[in-house]
Structure 1
Amino acid sequence: MNIRLFSLIVSAYNEGGNIDGFFEAASTIVRPLAEQGFRLEIVFADDGSSDKTADKIRGLFPAAACNSIDIKLVSFSRNFGKEAAMYAGLKNAAGDFCCFIDADLQQRPETALAMLEMLLLNPDYDCVAACLENRGTGVRQKLSSSFYKILSKSSGMQDVVDEASDFRVFSRAVADALLDMPEYYRFSKGLFAWVGFKTLPFPYTPDERHSGETTWTFPKLVRYGIGGILSFSTAPLQVAIWLGLFTSAAALIYFIVVICQRLFIGIEIPGYATIVALLLMLGGVQLLVLGILGEYLARIYIQGKDRPVFIVKSYSEQLAIQEDE
């Protein structure tokens, strides 16, 4: 029987307290995968952790061999960010099907297995995306939902799955398409939508973190969202154009009003407050437009340097020994 490979791509940053628990959970899906003709591969991308994450992963190698699990470790020279870790893991994954999953056990390997089974039952689809089942009604959830709508409309991509996470199972064809886009500023949710493969939503509820605290603060999420819009849309530039047109029209109208006042009514006292308000408004609009242009120019500048998305400090792997059939 032709054995296929299922790759779990795990980005890890200071997740030393979660590595053993994640591996234990991943080991439970080895037998169900084998029954469906799959072998498990785990690709860890250590994103420049300052704790013992890399050592913990290397300590799993003997157990992985005993459980017929292929395991790989890519360690960065410093922290390059989650997107870079996901990209590095994908470059080193050999699976016929791949899965992006976090090491903190909020996203369970058992759920990844269910997503793979769903994909196998729907051969017309190439990707299954985990979506939050209980979205809630808080400010953060509303902002998240609004972000997906803005991204979809501003980028022209209609395949942006609402509330979809990076937790996805996808085919080799999708993986190869993602690898063909080695851009520096990566935004995986947008990349998945841009490549255009058919995606099935998979409702799920994240578990509590097994250990430690998340590094994704609200300001970081806001910056991440803004970066996503800048990477896949020129709408901010169009907003800048409309702001310029609006302020120019307002200035022209006010100029006509001032002339009419001078000719027909007369102006006894100069409008100091009005002038200051207009100067502040026009100055603010100009700074906003320059800031938007600066963001795009900065991205062009960094991309033009053609620097690598990540730098590998070390690479380790332990391939499970397969008995000849």
Structure 2
Amino acid sequence: MKLSLVVPCYNEQDNVRAFYDAAVNAFLGCGYEYELVMVNDGSRDNTGIELKKLFYEKREETPITIVQFSRNFGKEAAILAGMKHAKGDLVTLIDADLQQRPEIVREMVQILDEHPEYDCVAAFQKERNEGRGLSFFKREFYRLINQMSEVEFVNGASDFRTCRRKMVDAILSMPEYHRFSKGIFSWVGFDTYYIPYVAEERHAGKTKWSFWKLFKYAVEGIIGYSTAPLKIATVLGSFTSLLAVIYFIVVVLQRLICGVDVPGYATIVALILLIGGIQLLILGIMGEYIARMYIQGKQRPIFIEKDVLTNEDEV
């Protein structure tokens, strides 16, 4: 098997068959074997039913593996499960909504065939079809995380990429529970070639990514690949303590030399609120790291497979 297409699916009942048809047409006459590994991430619609129908109808034509989760574990877990079941020497991560076209995957494979020095071909959006506000926050996120992290994050690069088997094995060797794929791809290293692509309109349905989900995903990346927030908390606490000492000295001198009374109720309340807020902020930052250590220490599985259908199974 030369190529495995890993396709995470969450509430994609109207897209899975269209994606299959697009993939088959894209790889028609490619001259090498490929398979589809489609992971149902606990969808709440009929995605699981549609995937089973697709499997039993098309298994004789195209190798298909269907992985059904017991509940929704998130896209990162679906990516990991798909990579574990992938058999190809090359593994592609691609969405089921057809915003990322299978035709681009053929270009990725061709680049890897022609350039053995590359271990991965990743696609990035040179121009995003989204609002200015969202584009601004995404741009600032990449700027911030590149300043904080030891690894480089390419602005606009997505999970849409094709990796050689050795890079896939390196990714699978990382057992961390809180996974941030963009960080994992950068952390494992390997030589990556970036190509631009234009995201198409969704074939059906609505995007699963709200601003709040993107914000939580960004926080996951910053905390997972940087200890800078902890250092910021240390600096902030030290600076506040220094200001408190200076202010205390000023108050004492005002009282002893100038005879000025100690500032009253409003000043004391303002200082207590300021220092208390900074303390809570520092505790919150520490709590984010401790919470991840707590979850990781439980060693719970990243996902649970309810059902797996492969071409080796009997009809």
Aligned pairs (5 A) from 1:72-91: 72-91=65-84
**Corresponding residue for residue 270 of structure 2:** 277
User: CA deviation digits over 1:215-235, x for unaligned, max 9?
Assistant: 110000000110111111111
User: CA deviation digits over 1:64-109, x for unaligned, max 9?
Assistant: 3443x21001100000000000000001001100111110111111
> Hey, what's the Cα distance between the residues in 1 that align with 2:292 and 2:281?
17
**Corresponding residue for residue 178 of structure 1:** 171
Match status 1:10 vs 2:7: yes
TM-score of the superposed pair, with normalisation by structure 1: 0.92
SS of the residue 1:168 aligns to: strand
Report how many residues are paired: 312
**Corresponding residue for residue 323 of structure 1:** none
User: CA deviation digits over 1:260-314, x for unaligned, max 9?
Assistant: 1111212236332221111111000000010111111110000000000000000
- Tell whether the 8 Å contact from 1:71 to 1:319 is kept in structure 2 after alignment: no
In structure 2, stretches of 5+ residues that fail to align are none
User: CA deviation digits over 1:20-64, x for unaligned, max 9?
Assistant: 100000001332421xxx211100110011221122112223553
**Given the alignment, which residue of 306, 311, 315 partners 1:318?**
311
The residue type equivalent to 2:20 in the other structure is F
> Hey, what's the Cα distance between the residues in 1 that align with 2:143 and 2:170?
24
Aligned pairs (5 A) from 1:48-127: 48-67=42-61, 69-127=62-120
The residue type equivalent to 1:164 in the other structure is A
Identical amino acids, percent of aligned pairs = 49
**Given the alignment, which residue of 37, 41, 46 partners 1:47?**
41
> Hey, what's the Cα distance between the residues in 1 that align with 2:120 and 2:227?
27
- Tell whether the 8 Å contact from 1:70 to 1:319 is kept in structure 2 after alignment: no
TM-score of the superposed pair, with normalisation by structure 2: 0.95
- Tell whether the 8 Å contact from 1:161 to 1:201 is kept in structure 2 after alignment: no
User: CA deviation digits over 1:121-167, x for unaligned, max 9?
Assistant: 22111111111121477121121122122222212113x22210111
- Tell whether the 8 Å contact from 2:26 to 2:103 is kept in structure 1 after alignment: yes
**Corresponding residue for residue 233 of structure 1:** 226
Kindly report the root-mean-square deviation, in angstroms, between the aligned alpha carbons of the 2 structures.
Answer: 1.6
- Tell whether the 8 Å contact from 1:40 to 1:70 is kept in structure 2 after alignment: yes
Instruction: Give the Å deviation of 1:319.
Output: 5.7
In structure 1, stretches of 5+ residues that fail to align are 321-325
> Hey, what's the Cα distance between the residues in 2 that align with 1:53 and 1:235?
41
**Given the alignment, which residue of 18, 24, 28 partners 1:21?**
18
Aligned pairs (5 A) from 1:130-279: 130-135=123-128, 138-158=132-152, 160-268=153-261, 270-279=263-272
- Tell whether the 8 Å contact from 1:33 to 1:40 is kept in structure 2 after alignment: no
The structure-2 alpha-carbon separation of the partners of 1:319 and 1:149, relative to structure 1 and needing over 3 Å to count, comes to farther
- The answer to which of 72-81 and 148-157 deviates more is 148-157
- Tell whether the 8 Å contact from 2:55 to 2:66 is kept in structure 1 after alignment: no
SS of the residue 2:310 aligns to: strand
> Hey, what's the Cα distance between the residues in 2 that align with 1:189 and 1:178?
11
> Hey, what's the Cα distance between the residues in 1 that align with 2:154 and 2:23?
27
The residue type equivalent to 1:121 in the other structure is E
> Hey, what's the Cα distance between the residues in 1 that align with 2:60 and 2:26?
14
SS of the residue 1:31 aligns to: coil
The residue type equivalent to 1:191 in the other structure is I
Instruction: Give the Å deviation of 1:196.
Output: 0.7
> Hey, what's the Cα distance between the residues in 1 that align with 2:21 and 2:60?
13
The residue type equivalent to 2:28 in the other structure is R
The structure-2 alpha-carbon separation of the partners of 1:26 and 1:126, relative to structure 1 and needing over 3 Å to count, comes to same
- Tell whether the 8 Å contact from 2:255 to 2:262 is kept in structure 1 after alignment: no
Instruction: Give the Å deviation of 1:182.
Output: 1.8
**Corresponding residue for residue 128 of structure 1:** 121
> Hey, what's the Cα distance between the residues in 2 that align with 1:277 and 1:243?
18
